[in-house]
Structure 1
Amino acid sequence: MAAIKQAHAERQLDDRWLEWEGDSEVTAAVRLDTLQVEGRFYTFLPMAVASPFSGHLNAPFYAKLDRRDVTRSRSLNRLFLDAGARACACGAGACAAGKLRTRGGGDRPDQLARLRGNRAASSSLRGSRDTAARRAAPARRVGELSRG
């Protein structure tokens, strides 16, 4: 909730966001059998925003109703993009270690792997001493996902 309050104070979010309750979840989905995927951003529904990696990223991004773009400069969206970068970095590490669980629990490479970021509770990164390092490392490994 701290990130929402901060974004509201900076006039990046309207009053309705102050009614948010609970955690938000950031997920990524990637194909395991091909690198040729035209990925998309989702905010519950597909957006007109291409993903910068071969997969899909879903988060409760702040976007206009037409969902044509994600404003990466908004602090709340940056928080979700950072969580997405961490999900992808963790997924890549799990895949390299042979520990990636696919949807349905099978080992078939044609299944979608669903990678969960940490629950992107709005206070999850605020106030942490190692925030910059935690944000920078996964983003570098995932093709600068959060810089778009």
Structure 2
Amino acid sequence: MYLIQGRYEKAIEYCKVKQKKFFEFEFCYTSMNERFREIDRFLWESRHQMTRYKNSYEGPVVINLTSWNPHYPNEYFEAFMYFLKSKAKQLDITFIIEQKCNINILERLKCFFDVQIKSLDIEKTTQKSIAQRQIGFHMCEEDYQHV
């Protein structure tokens, strides 16, 4: 199972090279105070987009986890992963994420699957670039001379 980190366009292009035809699913973040419908949506969309007369889809799936990245994985995330794990024999699953994967998401994925990470076009943020960021108003030395 692969986790592809990179811009959406590059990740989908990479998936198209590896697998010609696949079902693409955006796994939307759902907080615990909302109703969780992602499993039903996955089943309905995969059946209607990828099968004609079958009751369920079998084949390659690309799941976009980008909306989960800024959040801590909750019970709904785990429920969806259990669902995918139960379908692992029928589905060839690839995850994509548009930024560097949050460590919490990665740890949860590794609890369920043997994950291999492939990074495409991810800008690596260094400690130096983090230290140089300015918050609020900033005046450079030239501005001080005019005051």
Interval of TM-score (by shorter of Structure 1 and Structure 2)? under 0.3
TM-score by length of 1: 0.27
TM-score by length of 2: 0.28
Which structure has the larger Rg? 2
Query: Does 1 or 2 have the higher relative contact order (CA < 8 Å, sep 6+)?
Result: 2
